[in-house]
Amino acid sequence: MTFSKLYDTPATAVADIHDGATLLIGGATRNSEPTALLVALLASGVRDLTCVCDFADWDGSEGVLQLAHAERIASIISPFPFAGESGGVIRKQWQAGALAVEVIPQGTLAERLRAAGAGIGGVFTPVVLGTRFADGRETRTVNGVECVLESPLRADFALIRADRADALGNLAYQGAQRGWNAVMAPAARITIAEVDVVGEPGAIDPELVITPGIYVNRVVHAPPTGEQG
């Protein structure tokens, strides 16, 4: 029997995501967001989730906003948890105390994820120095610059989107898919990839593989439906 990481449906791929899980959710545009996986997650009824993502509240979002509307999210870690003055449902729930928000700069988020994937103890950055976010944190002077220690950010599950995969989980991305999806893939205990095209092992030129299959546990074939971005 040929080894394969392929799952028949998004629902079976996310079936063991449990209440209270921490999720990394890739993407920042419609064709880089794992839409089918998020729809299946919503249908599963799971709740009290901690969601780590880039833009939590944007017009093209098909998943994170729906989870928020259904009151399934307990906490959001994001550079942009809500947009504009109104802030939508996420800001309303945060102001009502129903949802916790941690705002983190994009670069710091990327480095904390990278540290988790690399298995290192954290990274030092000067970004929050001199603000209340540095209170009580370990600091160190690096090349004459005082920096604050940022801890690795590792999750229970990562839901990501790629253009192509093979049955072993090797992934190739297209356009914006390469951003958050690639950095999140190594930073979770279980990584689930929603992909447009699936081939047999060897179908992807090794020079084009961005995420090796060792970081991917499950692959779901979910062809695109005309999305833009």
pLDDT tens, the chain, 229 aa long: 467 899 999 999 999 999 999 999 998 777 789 999 999 999 999 999 999 998 776 655 567 888 999 999 999 999 988 876 666 888 999 999 999 999 999 999 999 999 999 999 999 999 988 888 888 889 999 999 999 999 999 999 999 999 999 999 999 999 989 989 999 999 999 999 999 999 999 899 999 999 999 999 999 999 876 554 4
pLDDT at 82: 82
How much is the pLDDT for 80?
Answer: 87
What is the DSSP secondary-structure string of 68-137? Answer: HHTT-EEEEEESBSS-TTT-HHHHHHHHTTSSEEEE--HHHHHHHHHHHHHT-S-EEESTTTTSGGGTT-
Could you tell me if residue 127 is inside a domain?
A: no
Question: Is 121 contained in some domain?
Answer: no
Question: What domain range includes position 96?
Answer: 17-113+152-198+208-218
Q: Nearest 5°: phi and psi at 154? A: -110, 145
Digit-coded pLDDT (tens) for 49-87? 999 998 776 655 567 888 999 999 999 999 988 876 666
Domain contains 172: yes
Asked, for residue 131, whether it belongs to a domain, the answer is no
Contacts (Cβ under 8 Å, ≥6 apart) of 109: 52, 54, 77, 78, 79, 153
Residue 121: is it exposed, middle or buried by C-beta count within 10 angstroms (0-12/13-18/19+)? exposed
Residue 24 lies in a domain: yes
Total count of domains within the chain:
1
Q: What CATH number does residue 88 fall under? A: 3.40.1080.10
In eight-state DSSP terms, residue 12 is H
Residue 10 lies in a domain: no
